[in-house]
Amino acid sequence: MTAFKPVEFRPSGRRRSSWHPPRWLVLLSAGIAIGAGGVVFVQERYLAPRLSAADSAQLRESFDRAERERQRLSGELAATSEQLKAALSEKGTLTTDLAASKTTIERLRAQLSSLVAVLPPDPRGGAIEVRAADFSTSAGALVYEVLLTRAKSGGQPFSGVMQFAVTGNSGRGAETTVTLKPVEIAVDTFEILRGSLPLPEGFVPRQATVRVLDRADGRQFGMRVLRVK
């Protein structure tokens, strides 16, 4: 007699499916879920909070402001660089002009030395000679131009004073001599001194005695008497 195998009755008329998802797919899905959860956890727990729309706008505005400031500073830097170039160029020109001026001064001084050498000597001689002088009066003052030379130049320049003793008529008509304020001098090889000194009111000078001293009322190193125009 044939044996019958029991059959499960399903109202839908379908058998239970025997398919299961592969293990690798389950592991992959679980890994994706865990990774996504980890990213969210780290971002929320350890990273800086995400900016709101207002914060983003403020950050953008700060960036634009910083960029404008950078551009302004870059412009100022470029302008300063141009000014520096111009200053350096001007300095080069001034240096060249200064060198040319020094050359001209040295040439003129050499020419003047040659002219001084042919002037008549001081009749009285002395360590400092009064080689030439020109005197005049203007607005109650004695205007002078005096050329002094040094017999033995070299070493330190001679330092002292030049003092004028002026003889002439006072305002009352009597002849008198007045001593004017000493002028500080320094003479190496030669020196031309120009200036003016006040005279007493109403005084009319006739001649001037030039004295070269080491100090006021000190030792005399040179002297000469000359007319006043």
**Phi/psi of residue 91, nearest 5 degrees:** -60, -40
The residue extents of the domains of the chain are 23-118, 128-227
Query: What is the pLDDT at residue 50?
Result: 64
Where do the DSSP E strands lie in the chain? 128-138, 141-150, 158-169, 175-179, 183-187, 190-198, 204-213, 220-227
- Structure confidence at residue 185 (pLDDT): 92
> Tens digit of pLDDT per residue, the chain (229 long)?
555 555 555 555 555 556 667 777 767 777 777 766 666 666 666 655 666 777 777 878 888 888 888 888 888 888 888 888 888 888 887 877 777 777 767 765 665 665 666 567 777 877 888 888 899 998 899 999 998 888 776 678 889 999 999 999 987 778 899 999 999 999 888 888 999 999 998 899 999 999 999 988 889 998 999 999 8
128-227 belongs to which CATH class? Answer: mainly beta
Provide the pLDDT for residue 74: 86
pLDDT at 29: 74
Which value, in Å, is the radius of gyration of the alpha carbons in the chain? 54
